[in-house]
Structure 1
Amino acid sequence: MKKNKILVTGGLGFIGSHTVVELLKEGYEVVIIDDLSNTRMEVLEGIKAISGVGPEFVKLDLKEKEKVRAFFKEHSIDGVIHFAASKAVGESVEEPLKYYENNIATLVYLLQSMAENKVSNFIFSSSCTVYGQADELPITENAPVKKAESPYGNTKQIGEEIIQDTTKVMDLKAIALRYFNPIGAHESAHIGELPLGVPQNLIPFVTQTAAGIRKELSVFGDDYPTQDGTAVRDYIHVVDLAQAHICALQRLLEGKNQAKMEFFNVGTGKGSSVLEVIKAFEEANGTKVNYKIADRREGDITAAYADTELANKELGWHAKLGLKDALSSAWKWQLKQ
């Protein structure tokens, strides 16, 4: 039986690399596109070390439309999982045009090439940022999509709209997975979150502070209307998140989708505050994290955690790993660096 060949864009990134490992484990043939703008080639070696398989890798910037077209002419692809995008909220506020070009133009070129080559299965890496500060918690897929707090969040909303419009006029089946906060690393410590420069996310900042690379961690705001005054998020282990992509892909390949475009929240259903995460990290790893309270950050919301019932029921997917599993794997990965 022929193996399905899956294109993973941004496949050497944090979530992309873990998804590639899960795809290989399930017997898919994988080709990775990455421009290496926010990762390193060593990640490919990590994937090989875990999988015993070296997936095909093509260094390509998706902003180069003709090269994207040439890629699809040369490869017979059965489905696309699209991670490649710029993803820092703060940077997007400072450089909106970079984000609109990198996250929107590339999506358009990808969909155009898919249409030309009759590739009809597409999974989009979306985000819970599309909900803004939701009126009700936990957040279901029926929650209104609110005006984005940042250009990054806006690119995810616009991306979903572009895909939805495209499904109406071409043979395209799509699933948008709206991630909550992915953390952790592969248990082997061969791959993990590897931010270039100063981390934009909480956990790499926690691990780098604990390792003495950063002097202290800034906790942005302790005056939120939450249990301890710090912002609450739904932290999901990256391996659980990667497995959600496998479930979504199988749904499309088997034609089990109930609409041309579907949306699923991917989280644990449990909210943890920043201070709770720091405490859990210290307990899981027997190490201290030096932190200080700082002013709130622009664009940050008070609380967000997922209602995952739809993904549980329709995708047959459940988060299996807990916060401490994720935090101990993140620390193991940090120490390996």
Structure 2
Amino acid sequence: MSKYTGIPCSRCGHTFTDQDDVVVCPECGAPHHRSCFRELGHCALQEQHAPDFSWSYHSAQSESEGTSQTVICSRCGAATPAELPNCQMCGSPLSSDAQEPPSLSGQGQYARHSASNFETYFDDWEYDGVTAREFSAYTGTGSYYFLSQFKRLVHSRQNISWNWCAFFFGFLYFFYRKMYRLGAVLLAFYIASSLPTMLCFFIGPFDQQMVFYGMQVSYNAQLLDQLAMLGNIMGFAQWALMILCGLFANKFYLQTALRTITQFRQGRQNDPQYYTDLYLLGRPNPLIIALLFAAFFITTGFLGTFMQIVPVA
């Protein structure tokens, strides 16, 4: 057994195993994973180097158990031990103006703070073998909210947990949180439920006019009357779907996170980049939202060429 087994790396905070390749700082003796030392380019404790400074596991252990401080990463909001130069979740350098939460100790606590609220960090909670630390890394800057919702869903054994973003944005929210299959199903339903009304703009005779996205267009009033009942049903269905999204989005997200993390972590538990990569894997995807909006406007412009546009006098 290596003399460093069970001791945390000075850079990433992960404890060494017998299989880890360990290097020590030639100046202070602080141990690092070889990959951590190579990536950083110098000792993680370089700022503490002084003629009378030398790394000691016992002093570092007592400090972490007693007076160690944690800081909040300004990029992702994760709590990280102050002695580490980089955030343990996203890898960003910890600046000197990072926020210090009151009386937090220990390493690897990843829950997102909400304003100045630090009463619960879920550091000892797990679900189906996935730890709070992994859930927090995957959910990123929203981890404080999601961890509290996940924990409540699991302990109450219920599926309902209200999510306002999912209620208002529907399929866009699911695409944003990388639940692509469910987002695609919701998008398909939204398009299908809008067809009865849209047909009135493409099937003549066009005997009435209305303003549609800033354009004055003609539509088939008789067909609209015939499809009014179906259109109302589809409208109610869209509202019902919005409510269902608000009620069950957190449950779907919990299942997605659980499945994704379980698949992703196979054989990577000792990888020093594991939590950073997990954070990047779960990071929301604003690009797909921009692409959906672009597709919407392109499709609207294309369909507009088939509408009976009435010149404004």
Under a length normalisation based on structure 1, what TM-score does the superposition of the two structures give? Answer: 0.19
Q: Which has the higher contact order (CA 8 A, sep 6+)?
A: 1
Using the size of structure 2 for normalisation, the TM-score is 0.20
Q: Which has the higher strand share?
A: 1
Larger Rg: 2
Q: Identify, as 1 or 2, the structure richer in helix.
A: 2
